[in-house]
Amino acid sequence: MVPAHLPLDWGSVEQIVGRIPRKDLPADPAVIIGADQQREQMLPTYVGRGVAIPHARLDAIDRPMLAFAHSEEGVPLENTSERADLLFLLLTPGPSRTQPRWLAEIVGLFESDYVTGRLRKARSPDDVIEAIRAGQQVAPD
């Protein structure tokens, strides 16, 4: 997969964060959204084949958080007709080497259509976890 650095519609991250119960978020929703928007301006998060990984580092958290969203209609990308329909929101403590490792792991899952196909069909958190675990078994090292 070749990264196509295209910006996501910022409302998509707001929607993901808005659907997570506040008690399950590692920081205030406004802080998370603001950190992602800042990072998105520096380097957009679309990685290709319908997959986007908005991510940010937050000094106030002590462990990573990963959220998954599937958009049937897809999230529009600026200056293109492409849409991202699989989104992973990654929040990591900053500064650390954790974020590049997680990003590489997530991107590596999408080298095969097998995982993306399963994620597009997932209807529960367990389906998502099973798809990721299966992808870890078939993804090349």
What phi and psi values does residue 34 have, to the nearest 5 degrees?
-60, -40
Residue 15 pLDDT level (bands cut at 50, 70, 90): confident
DSSP 89-108: EEEEESSSSHHHHHHHHHHH
Active site members: 55
Using one digit for the tens of pLDDT, what is the confidence trace for 40-62?
A: 888 778 778 888 899 999 998 98
Tens of pLDDT, residues 125-135: 899 999 988 88
Domain boundaries, the chain: 11-138
CATH superfamily of 11-138: Mannitol-specific EII; Chain A (3.40.930.10)
Give Cβ neighbours of residue 32 (< 8 Å, ≥ 6 apart).
13, 17, 25, 26, 56, 58, 91
> Confidence class of residue 2 from pLDDT cuts 50, 70 and 90?
very low
